[in-house]
Structure 1
Amino acid sequence: MPGKIDCFGLTDIGCKREENQDQFLIAGLNKAMRVHQSSLSIDDNEMLLSESQGVLLLVADGMGGQAGGERASRLAVEGLATYLLDTMPWFFNLDTEGDEEARTALNEAIIRCQEKLSFDAKVHPDVHGMGTTITAAYVRWPRATIVHAGDSRCYLHHQGSLSQLTTDHTLAEQFSSTGAFRKVDLAETRWAHVLWNAVGSDMREVEPEVNQFELQMGDTLLLCTDGLMRHVEDPELTDALNTDHSSEKLCHELVDRAKSRGGRDNITVVVARFVDNDQAQAMTETQELDLGGDDSRKESPQHTPASDAGSPRPTARLSSDKAAGPPILEFPPANS
């Protein structure tokens, strides 16, 4: 029986900033067919969807002035989503044999994002120097691939313990690896938020960090920008994730906690809890988005995954009190 992903994303401008330069994306990936006409009992221009080919979770934190930061994070999210759609054949059979291909494709996706930003900055000199972090998780149950550049983070909560799956690409973190700083002193140094690696229009060539692992039922992934980490430490994240709260409630609790402590930066959180059907039912009463099985192959007008033109909408920003679409996604068994 397939499990489900209780997932929710939330972004908030915080208490000090005048603009939200963060972005996030939660997307179910499917093969699709648009039927223009048919003698079958299918409406013209109806979209038919396959079983789920995976789920994409992503956060990005823009940098580069009032206009540049928002533009950089938006272009990067658009670029990565578009690249994955164009290279979907790599991901249809993601398993241990396909790991290397997945690593290569996701690594290339980040490089393409940097090329996109560099080209855009040449066309629009007023945003020269813009950049963004990007942290994404592609899940094809039970395999997960994490691709990352910058100091946003991806955490795994497994059996009551929290692990940071990404490395902060800051000068402070680099210095600590050489013994120049103690770990406990990192947040207090002048280098704590100076990035040596990110997606940027005039930065050195980006060096994507890619990790792969297997998830287990009951695990939770949490992706966040540094606006959360500045105010909420890892032990508090662990305590929050040790509860049986839904992903929606967790996101609101964490964002509210960061804002209550100053909210110095934009705050973005994505939580994905991998649960069985009974747990999913207990967590939420909202409508499920079914991504597997025969019933999912016809598009529902209540949760349409494509626009009128049949293209994705990766740039949609959600206000601070709204979800990233229906919070329950179904995932099929591996190699289904």
Structure 2
Amino acid sequence: MIAEVYAKTDIGRTRKNNEDNFLVLDLHTGRALTASEGSFPPEMRRLEVGPEGIVLAVSDGMGGALAGDIASRMAVESVRDRLAMESRSERPLLERLREAVLYANLAIHRRSLNDPCCNGMGATFTGAAIKRGELGLIQIGDSRAYLIRGAQIKLLTRDQSLVQRLIDMGQITEEEARIHMFRNVILQALGAQREINPVTGKLKLRESDTLLLCSDGLSNKLEAEELFDTLNRATDLQAAGEALIERANQRGGEDNITLILARFTGDELKVAESNEITVEEETHFDEIPEELLKLL
């Protein structure tokens, strides 16, 4: 299986700092790249997915000043280093990714307690573990994963946010959520507390499937249909990524914008018999903290 990959982060139009980060990790070769290391090099744009697999992830930091940058950087670097320690392991890659995310949570939480400059910091984390034709997903927070198959785009994740829970409960509409006073409140973040409940799921990849991971700087600005339309018009993944970021900036660019695009091809993948996309074996997170319930 071949993964064509493109990743980019953009500060947006109004923020002074970029608190987003991303991770591209090839466990077969040991090559890895985060947003902190600069532009996306040509040698990382075409990965032959070996038996060890690859991991892709985006992280959106929070905490003010430089703390958000520290949190997202710690998230991707902790996961990278933890997975690299046992890159040849036969254990399921999604299981190992989940353990690495739990480890990153503790590292960020400990730093937030011990460093006054980092008090209260946290980060979202949405990651994909790709191995042997299967895509495993893990999510903390509201960074998203979409899959494009044929003429369909599907949101694979569910925002762990207060407004999403209010939508699910029928208390507000999606239109009302966009302007809700609590629209920026997320219910889980790496480092915010000692214990977290990562949401996981998996699905079988098909020939020419395209994965999009992104921070809310993109998903808050473009609907799924607009994402699909932009991807469909682009000549390649780099052009698609740059066009998506440009469209988000044209609509205000109030937040940092980060994305990873990956297209999968090869003999290992079956041709899709339909555009149907089903995520299996999900775990869920439905908790609304008591202190927030009192405000509703």
2:202 is aligned to 212
Q: What SS does the aligned partner of 2:53 have?
A: strand
1:11 is aligned to 9
1:116 is aligned to 107
Aligned-partner Cα distance in 1 for 2:50–2:56:
18
Bigger Rg, structure 1 or 2: 1
Q: What SS does the aligned partner of 1:196 have?
A: coil
Please list the CA deviations of residues 83-135 of structure 1 after superposition, one character each: whole Å capped at 9, or x if unmatched. 21123344x4xxxxx6xx44433322221111001221233121110000011
Q: Which of 132, 149, 155 is matched with 1:141 structurally?
A: 132
Q: Could you tell me how far 1:271 is from its partner in structure 2?
A: 0.4
1:27 is aligned to 25
Decide whether the 8 Å contact of 2:221 with 2:251 is kept in 1: yes
1:66 is aligned to 65
Decide whether the 8 Å contact of 2:109 with 2:190 is kept in 1: no
Q: What SS does the aligned partner of 2:130 have?
A: strand
Decide whether the 8 Å contact of 1:160 with 1:242 is kept in 2: no
Decide whether the 8 Å contact of 2:94 with 2:129 is kept in 1: no
Q: What SS does the aligned partner of 1:58 have?
A: strand
Aligned-partner Cα distance in 2 for 1:110–1:273:
24
**1:60-209 correspondence to structure 2 within 5 Å:** 60-90=59-89, 92=90, 101-200=92-191, 202-203=192-193, 205-209=195-199
- The residue type equivalent to 1:245 in the other structure is T
**1:314-325 correspondence to structure 2 within 5 Å:** none
Please list the CA deviations of residues 205-253 of structure 1 after superposition, one character each: whole Å capped at 9, or x if unmatched. 2210111111001100000001111221111011123346211111100
Aligned-partner Cα distance in 2 for 1:248–1:275:
17
Corresponding position: 1:260 with 2:260: no
- Report the aligned-residue RMSD: 2.0
Provide the TM-score with structure 1 as the length reference. 0.70
Aligned-partner Cα distance in 2 for 1:87–1:212:
21
- The residue type equivalent to 2:8 in the other structure is L
Which has the larger displacement, 226-235 or 213-222? 226-235
Corresponding position: 1:241 with 2:231: yes
**1:292-303 correspondence to structure 2 within 5 Å:** none
Please list the CA deviations of residues 279-319 of structure 1 after superposition, one character each: whole Å capped at 9, or x if unmatched. xxxxxxxxxxxxxxxxxxxxxxxxxxxxxxxxxxxxxxxxx
Aligned-partner Cα distance in 2 for 1:51–1:154:
23
Corresponding position: 1:227 with 2:217: yes
Q: Could you tell me how far 1:199 is from its partner in structure 2?
A: 0.7
Aligned-partner Cα distance in 2 for 1:102–1:56:
9
Decide whether the 8 Å contact of 2:160 with 2:188 is kept in 1: yes
Give ranges in structure 2 of 5+ residues lacking alignment.
31-48, 268-296
- The residue type equivalent to 1:203 in the other structure is Q
Aligned-partner Cα distance in 1 for 2:166–2:173:
9
1:318 is aligned to none
Q: Could you tell me how far 1:275 is from its partner in structure 2?
A: 3.0
Which has the larger displacement, 176-185 or 226-235? 176-185
Aligned-partner Cα distance in 1 for 2:237–2:8:
10
Aligned length: 249
Aligned-partner Cα distance in 2 for 1:28–1:119:
28
1:304 is aligned to none
Q: What SS does the aligned partner of 1:199 have?
A: coil
Provide the TM-score with structure 2 as the length reference. 0.79
Which has the larger displacement, 157-166 or 22-31? 22-31
Aligned-partner Cα distance in 2 for 1:22–1:103:
23
Q: Could you tell me how far 1:56 is from its partner in structure 2?
A: 1.2
Q: Percent identity?
A: 33
Aligned-partner Cα distance in 2 for 1:262–1:138:
32
Q: What SS does the aligned partner of 2:124 have?
A: strand
Decide whether the 8 Å contact of 1:218 with 1:274 is kept in 2: yes
